[in-house]
Structure 1
Amino acid sequence: MAEFIRKFDHLSVRFLACPAKASFIECWGMNDTLRKPKTALELVSDANRLIPILSVEELDAAMKSGDLVLLDVREKEEYELEAIPGALHASRGMLEFYADPTNSFHRHNLQPTQRVALYCGTGGRSALAALSLKTLGYCDVAQLQGGFKAWKAAACSGEDRGGDKSSV
């Protein structure tokens, strides 16, 4: 495939000359990103506009239906302290490697055709992680609104949220 270089202000960016790459850049708003650096909160805000958000109640219903893979993208230490029962652990730093079927670190219980919901502490890391999964070709990705903090607050309200923990 042919490559070409486009210049955006002070950056030279290499693209593969194929419609898929061009539409990716247009769809994900990369042109703006390449012109002006963004803050971490702006990246999270962008991701939140592109990724569906589930309430605690919607997550519970999806988990009860059994057609959802729930991923905790917090650090291992956070996950080991407490987690949503039934959640698999895939830390934010390794998620793309675990989720990529072509990578040697790929975890077979993560497939692009699955319905996947992610959560972190309050929603920032899971928003960025969900966007990464979409970029890797995962079609049905969502995140838990408010993250583990919101789930725990709802659990403390007396709702039953039993289950077990596993690693990816």
Structure 2
Amino acid sequence: MNGRYLARLRPHLVGTKRPRRHLAAGVAVLVVIATTGFLLGVDAALSLGWIAVVFGIAVAGGTWGAGFILTAVTLWLVGFWWTAFPPLAGYLTGGWAPVSRYTYPRTLDYAAVSARAELVGGIEQGVRIGLLFAVVLGASGYLIGVGISRLRLR
């Protein structure tokens, strides 16, 4: 590859230091708030709101110049948390039941037979959902954010 091409691509992949810190801190605060809310009884089911938040993180990462790699990692973390944390909370607290708020979101109507099986299923699904968030919503949102940033600078 041409060195000039890599030099132009690097800021979009890695980003700059301050925006990376802000994006990482913002997502960490979001996960802490979501964790606290879930433990206090707020429903964490898949909704348009969750998807909008994830898409907003991607657009912010592109607009601020935080880099696609960090943006994708933070989106994967949010997607993983969303499916793996409820079963983990049920497993650790002993409050798990086949149909409860401690199950991970799924489209098929089936339930795990134990809290451990639910946790393993949530982790497996979390990896997939996290990748979906990172690749699909992350790439499209990041590109929109870069476009907004370029329009803003004109």
More relative contact order in 1 or in 2 (CA 8 Å, sep 6+)?
2
* Structure with the bigger percentage of strand: 1
Tell me the TM-score normalized by structure 2.
0.28
